[in-house]
Every structure is written in structure tokens, then in C-alpha cells.
């Protein structure tokens, strides 16, 4: 079974487009391309990755498709389309012809309307994804988890995955409210969760492995090993420790799992969820 990093990004840095990369994130204010990641994956015995959009344009989709065409270790792409557009189905039909395009996401965490995912235009777009075999990555903050649960209930046949365990407030060690809501989401069997993006929610320069245990305890119990997958969130993770330190922390946590469970977590679940050709 291949090992898969289910969440990472590539970009050619543009200070205007990538304004979310603030000055305190100086370490990632540069280009990150497949040649930068390949040796890191090899070092960590990871054979493939899912490249996730970092810009909400269809130009980004083509950028990632072009990279995947010449870098076979990129096993799948999570792109972006305007799910609220009248002609969204035409776009989905077009991307369904590209084997490496496996799903889509929208940066819901940044939307002023916190329940935008429940708008009738947005849900119409979601309703068409499964028809073309696409998954949906849910990028949200904890205050949006209740809406995500409602969305998942509306479309029980649609495969969803929560990115970055919904970004709980790890700096302040807040668990209770996030735990209640993520457990509600997890009751939907069509929802998976990425164990990813955690270090950037903690104190960047002062986190310890133990800081993440309460959160991982919750998602491993709520989702079960069959619906969890590892993601590095590289290169964003570089602002808070880097790839090797992130994967070491996660490996320590899952050390007690059986070999079969480890195979599922480190690749099998991502392969099944994204229907990867490996």
C-alpha cells in the first residue's frame, strides 16, 4: 500500500495573490514546487501526495494539472471551481476528463457569511460533485462545524473531508466546544478528517508533542481509523517546525496502531477517499 501525504500545496509566490502569507511567515514567502517536496517525501518514505489549491482560481487548477503531468508522485489534485456559478456543471464536466483532478474545496474559513456553505447556490454546486466522482474538502474554523454537519447530512452520498481537524484553538488549549461539534460532524459516515495543519494552530515556536494529544484523541475516537488520513500541510507547516518534525510527532502518536491500521492511516484511506489510481 502506497503511503500518501493527503494535503500539501505548491505555488509560485505572488505577494498580492498570496497576501495571506504574512511577514511573520517569511520562511514560506517564496516558490514551492515539486522538486522542493520530492526529496522530503522520499526521506520520509512517502510515495505520493495530494496537491491542494492555494488560490481560488481555475488558473490554479491548470497550474496543478501541469505539475501533475510531469511529476507522477502527485497522485491527485483538490482544485477550485465556483460552486455558486450557474454553469458550474460545465466546469465539473470539463475537469472530470482529467484523471488527476479528484476533488474541490473553497476557503470557507475566510467567508464573512459563516454559513455560506448552506446557501442554495452553494448546495446546488455540492449536489453535482458526486455525479462526476468528485470529493469535497471542507476548510473551516470551529465556529462553522455545525454548518458542516448540516451540509453532510443534506448529501449523504457525497464524500467530504474536514481539513486540519477544523483548526481548533490550540494556542489556548480550547477543546470542549470544538470536541462537541466535531463529534457531531463525525456521526456522518460520509465525512472523513485530515490529521493535518495542527502545528500552525499551536504556538509556532514553543509546541510540544503532548499539546496535540487531546485533539488527536478526539478525532481518532470520533472518526475511527477508517476515516482518518495524514496530511503535512507542507510548506505551510514550515512556519511552525517543518515536515520532518510534524511527521515525527504524528508517527509517535500512531505507534500503537496495528500494521493494518497504520496502512489505512498513512495511505489506504486517502487512496479510497480520493479514488486514486496508484
CB 128 within 8 A of CB 155: no
Q: Tell me, what's the pLDDT at 241?
A: 93
Q: Tell me the C-alpha to C-alpha distance, in Å, between residue 157 and each of 21, 138, 163, 248.
A: 35, 16, 19, 35
In this prediction, residue 64 carries a pLDDT of 98
Query: Cβ contacts of residue 278 below 8 Å, gap of 6+?
Result: 2, 48, 75, 271
Write out the chain's pLDDT in tens, 278 residues. Answer: 899 999 999 999 999 999 999 999 999 999 999 999 999 999 999 999 999 999 999 999 999 999 999 999 999 999 999 999 999 999 999 999 999 999 999 999 999 999 999 999 999 999 999 999 999 999 999 999 999 999 999 999 999 999 999 999 999 999 999 999 999 999 999 999 999 999 999 999 999 999 999 999 999 999 999 999 999 999 999 999 999 999 999 999 999 999 999 999 999 999 999 999 88
Q: What is the DSSP string of 205-231?
A: TT--GGGGHHHHHHHHHHH-GGGEEE-
- CATH number (3.30.1490.20, 3.10.129.10, 3.20.20.140, 3.40.30.10) of 4-273 reads 3.20.20.140
pLDDT score at 1: 84
For residues 138 and 108, the answer to whether their CB atoms sit within 8 Å is yes
Give the distance, in angstroms, between the CA of residue 25 and the centroid of all CA atoms in the same chain: 20
Sole residue written with cell 473553497: 106
How far is it, in rounded angstroms, from Cα 140 to Cα 25? 21
CA distance 232 to 235: 8
What is the secondary structure of 140-196 as a DSSP string? --GGGHHHHHHHHHH-TTS-EEEGGGG---TTTT--HHHHHHHHHHHTSTTEEEEE-
Does the global pTM surpass 0.85?
yes
| 99: its cell numbers | 484523471
Amino acid at each position: 500500500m502506497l503511503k500518501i501525504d493527503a494535503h500539501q500545496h505548491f505555488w509560485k509566490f505572488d505577494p498580492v495573490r498570496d497576501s495571506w502569507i504574512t511577514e511573520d511567515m517569511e520562511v514560506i514567502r517564496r516558490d514551492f514546487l515539486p522538486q522542493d517536496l520530492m526529496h522530503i517525501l522520499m526521506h520520509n518514505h512517502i510515495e505520493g501526495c495530494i496537491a491542494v489549491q492555494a488560490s481560488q482560481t481555475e488558473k490554479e487548477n491548470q497550474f496543478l494539472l501541469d505539475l501533475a503531468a510531469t511529476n507522477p508522485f502527485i497522485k491527485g489534485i483538490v482544485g477550485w471551481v465556483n460552486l455558486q456559478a450557474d454553469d458550474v456543471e460545465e466546469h465539473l464536466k470539463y475537469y472530470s476528463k482529467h484523471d488527476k483532478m479528484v476533488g474541490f474545496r473553497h476557503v470557507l474559513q475566510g467567508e464573512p457569511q459563516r454559513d455560506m456553505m448552506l446557501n442554495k447556490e452553494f448546495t446546488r454546486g455540492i449536489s453535482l460533485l458526486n455525479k462526476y466522482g468528485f470529493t469535497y474538502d471542507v476548510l473551516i474554523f470551529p465556529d462553522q462545524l455545525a454548518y458542516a454537519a448540516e451540509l453532510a447530512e443534506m448529501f449523504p452520498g457525497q464524500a467530504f473531508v474536514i481539513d486540519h481537524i477544523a483548526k481548533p484553538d490550540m494556542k489556548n488549549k480550547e477543546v470542549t466546544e470544538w470536541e462537541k461539534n466535531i463529534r457531531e460532524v463525525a456521526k456522518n459516515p460520509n465525512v472523513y478528517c485530515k490529521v493535518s495543519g495542527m502545528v500552525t494552530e499551536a504556538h509556532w515556536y514553543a509546541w510540544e508533542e503532548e499539546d496535540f494529544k487531546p485533539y488527536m484523541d478526539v478525532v481518532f475516537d470520533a472518526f475511527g481509523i477508517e476515516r482518518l488520513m495524514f496530511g503535512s500541510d507542507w510548506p505551510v507547516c514550515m512556519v511552525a517546525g517543518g515536515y520532518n518534525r510534524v511527521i515525527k510527532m504524528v508517527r509517535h502518536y500512531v505507534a500503537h496502531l496495528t500494521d493494518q491500521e497504520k496502512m489505512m492511516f498513512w495511505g489506504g484511506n486517502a487512496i479510497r477517499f480520493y479514488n486514486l489510481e496508484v
